[in-house]
Amino acid sequence: MSDDLGRRIGKRRPFESREDAALLNLVRTADRVQTQVTRALREYGLTPAQYNVLRILRGLGEPTPILGIAERMLTETPGITGLIDRLEKLELVQRRRCDEDRRVVFVVIAAKAEALLKKLDGPLAELRTRLLSGATQDELATLIRILDKIREPLEGP
Protein backbone atom coordinates (compact mmCIF):
# COMPACT_ATOMS: atom_id res chain seq x y z
CA MET A 1 0.00 0.00 0.00
CA SER A 2 1.41 3.39 -1.01
CA ASP A 3 2.07 5.65 1.92
CA ASP A 4 2.65 8.98 0.17
CA LEU A 5 -0.01 10.67 2.31
CA GLY A 6 1.44 9.19 5.49
CA ARG A 7 4.83 10.64 4.57
CA ARG A 8 3.35 14.03 3.66
CA ILE A 9 1.47 14.39 6.93
CA GLY A 10 4.38 13.08 9.01
CA LYS A 11 2.69 9.87 10.08
CA ARG A 12 5.10 7.69 12.05
CA ARG A 13 3.21 4.40 11.72
CA PRO A 14 1.29 2.89 8.82
CA PHE A 15 -2.41 3.62 8.58
CA GLU A 16 -4.50 1.29 10.71
CA SER A 17 -6.50 0.12 7.69
CA ARG A 18 -6.96 0.64 3.97
CA GLU A 19 -10.25 2.38 4.79
CA ASP A 20 -8.40 4.84 7.02
CA ALA A 21 -5.81 5.53 4.32
CA ALA A 22 -8.46 5.82 1.61
CA LEU A 23 -10.67 8.20 3.58
CA LEU A 24 -7.80 10.48 4.60
CA ASN A 25 -6.49 10.46 1.01
CA LEU A 26 -9.96 11.40 -0.24
CA VAL A 27 -10.28 14.26 2.26
CA ARG A 28 -6.76 15.59 1.54
CA THR A 29 -7.23 15.38 -2.24
CA ALA A 30 -10.66 17.04 -2.14
CA ASP A 31 -9.20 19.86 -0.06
CA ARG A 32 -6.30 20.44 -2.47
CA VAL A 33 -8.58 20.41 -5.51
CA GLN A 34 -11.14 22.71 -3.83
CA THR A 35 -8.37 25.17 -2.91
CA GLN A 36 -7.29 25.40 -6.56
CA VAL A 37 -10.87 25.87 -7.79
CA THR A 38 -11.57 28.52 -5.12
CA ARG A 39 -8.47 30.50 -6.12
CA ALA A 40 -9.40 30.39 -9.79
CA LEU A 41 -12.97 31.56 -9.12
CA ARG A 42 -11.84 34.28 -6.71
CA GLU A 43 -10.13 36.04 -9.63
CA TYR A 44 -13.61 36.47 -11.13
CA GLY A 45 -15.27 37.50 -7.88
CA LEU A 46 -17.13 34.24 -7.32
CA THR A 47 -17.20 31.54 -4.66
CA PRO A 48 -17.53 27.88 -5.65
CA ALA A 49 -21.14 27.84 -4.39
CA GLN A 50 -22.03 30.92 -6.46
CA TYR A 51 -20.39 29.40 -9.51
CA ASN A 52 -22.33 26.17 -8.92
CA VAL A 53 -25.65 28.08 -8.85
CA LEU A 54 -24.81 29.89 -12.09
CA ARG A 55 -23.78 26.64 -13.82
CA ILE A 56 -27.03 25.00 -12.72
CA LEU A 57 -29.08 27.89 -14.09
CA ARG A 58 -27.15 27.98 -17.36
CA GLY A 59 -27.48 24.21 -17.74
CA LEU A 60 -31.23 24.19 -17.11
CA GLY A 61 -31.78 27.17 -19.39
CA GLU A 62 -35.04 28.18 -17.72
CA PRO A 63 -36.31 29.93 -14.59
CA THR A 64 -35.81 27.52 -11.72
CA PRO A 65 -37.34 27.42 -8.23
CA ILE A 66 -34.83 28.05 -5.44
CA LEU A 67 -35.43 24.57 -4.02
CA GLY A 68 -34.73 23.08 -7.45
CA ILE A 69 -31.34 24.78 -7.40
CA ALA A 70 -30.64 23.60 -3.83
CA GLU A 71 -31.34 19.97 -4.84
CA ARG A 72 -28.78 20.15 -7.64
CA MET A 73 -25.94 21.77 -5.66
CA LEU A 74 -22.70 19.78 -5.50
CA THR A 75 -22.19 20.66 -1.85
CA GLU A 76 -24.82 20.97 0.86
CA THR A 77 -25.85 24.60 1.02
CA PRO A 78 -28.16 25.39 3.95
CA GLY A 79 -28.12 29.13 3.17
CA ILE A 80 -29.37 28.92 -0.42
CA THR A 81 -31.60 32.00 -0.02
CA GLY A 82 -28.66 34.09 1.17
CA LEU A 83 -26.56 32.76 -1.67
CA ILE A 84 -29.23 33.84 -4.18
CA ASP A 85 -29.43 37.24 -2.40
CA ARG A 86 -25.69 37.78 -2.93
CA LEU A 87 -25.91 36.76 -6.60
CA GLU A 88 -28.84 39.14 -7.05
CA LYS A 89 -26.82 42.02 -5.52
CA LEU A 90 -24.05 41.23 -8.02
CA GLU A 91 -26.73 41.44 -10.76
CA LEU A 92 -25.99 37.87 -11.84
CA VAL A 93 -29.49 36.51 -11.20
CA GLN A 94 -33.02 37.83 -10.90
CA ARG A 95 -35.96 36.55 -8.90
CA ARG A 96 -39.44 36.13 -10.34
CA ARG A 97 -42.59 35.10 -8.51
CA CYS A 98 -44.63 32.28 -9.97
CA ASP A 99 -47.94 33.60 -11.35
CA GLU A 100 -49.86 30.47 -10.28
CA ASP A 101 -48.38 30.15 -6.77
CA ARG A 102 -46.98 33.37 -5.29
CA ARG A 103 -45.08 31.35 -2.67
CA VAL A 104 -42.81 29.92 -5.37
CA VAL A 105 -39.85 32.07 -6.38
CA PHE A 106 -38.00 31.36 -9.61
CA VAL A 107 -34.38 32.33 -10.20
CA VAL A 108 -33.28 33.43 -13.66
CA ILE A 109 -29.69 33.77 -14.83
CA ALA A 110 -28.80 37.29 -16.00
CA ALA A 111 -26.94 38.11 -19.22
CA LYS A 112 -24.06 39.43 -17.08
CA ALA A 113 -23.69 35.96 -15.52
CA GLU A 114 -23.84 34.25 -18.91
CA ALA A 115 -20.96 36.46 -20.08
CA LEU A 116 -19.00 35.77 -16.89
CA LEU A 117 -19.45 32.01 -17.26
CA LYS A 118 -18.29 32.22 -20.86
CA LYS A 119 -15.09 33.94 -19.66
CA LEU A 120 -14.60 31.24 -17.02
CA ASP A 121 -15.13 28.25 -19.32
CA GLY A 122 -11.61 28.28 -20.80
CA PRO A 123 -9.61 28.87 -17.61
CA LEU A 124 -11.60 26.27 -15.67
CA ALA A 125 -11.21 23.70 -18.46
CA GLU A 126 -7.44 24.30 -18.32
CA LEU A 127 -7.52 23.93 -14.53
CA ARG A 128 -9.46 20.64 -14.79
CA THR A 129 -6.93 19.33 -17.30
CA ARG A 130 -4.00 20.37 -15.09
CA LEU A 131 -5.54 18.93 -11.91
CA LEU A 132 -6.36 15.57 -13.50
CA SER A 133 -3.36 15.24 -15.82
CA GLY A 134 -1.80 12.56 -13.62
CA ALA A 135 -4.54 10.07 -14.47
CA THR A 136 -5.31 8.25 -17.71
CA GLN A 137 -8.82 8.20 -19.21
CA ASP A 138 -9.27 4.64 -17.94
CA GLU A 139 -8.16 5.65 -14.46
CA LEU A 140 -10.57 8.59 -14.50
CA ALA A 141 -13.41 6.26 -15.50
CA THR A 142 -12.46 3.94 -12.63
CA LEU A 143 -12.25 6.86 -10.20
CA ILE A 144 -15.73 8.04 -11.23
CA ARG A 145 -17.16 4.54 -10.69
CA ILE A 146 -15.51 4.22 -7.28
CA LEU A 147 -16.64 7.65 -6.11
CA ASP A 148 -20.20 6.96 -7.30
CA LYS A 149 -20.14 3.66 -5.41
CA ILE A 150 -18.93 5.32 -2.19
CA ARG A 151 -21.33 8.27 -2.45
CA GLU A 152 -24.46 6.34 -3.44
CA PRO A 153 -25.49 5.15 0.05
CA LEU A 154 -24.81 8.64 1.45
CA GLU A 155 -27.23 10.42 -0.88
CA GLY A 156 -30.93 10.74 -0.30
CA PRO A 157 -33.48 9.48 -2.82
Asked, for residue 157, whether it belongs to a domain, the answer is no
The model's pTM? 0.88
Q: Are residues 51 and 83 in the same domain?
A: yes
In this structure, are 54 and 39 located in the same domain? no
Sequence-distant (6+) residues with CB within 8 A of 143 are 135
Q: How far apart are CA 25 and CA 5, in angstroms?
A: 7
Q: What is the pLDDT of residues 76-107, one digit of tens each?
A: 888 999 999 999 999 999 999 877 887 888 99
Task: Give yes or no: residues 1 and 61 share one domain.
Answer: no
In this structure, is residue 143 part of a structural domain? Answer: no
- Number of domains within the chain: 2
The answer to the question of residue 154 being in a domain is: no
- Structural domain of 100: 46-122
Question: What is the mean predicted confidence (pLDDT) over 20-26?
Answer: 88
Question: Is residue 138 included in any domain, yes or no?
Answer: no
Residue 92's CB is within 10 A of a number of other CB atoms, namely: 24
In a domain, 84, yes or no: yes
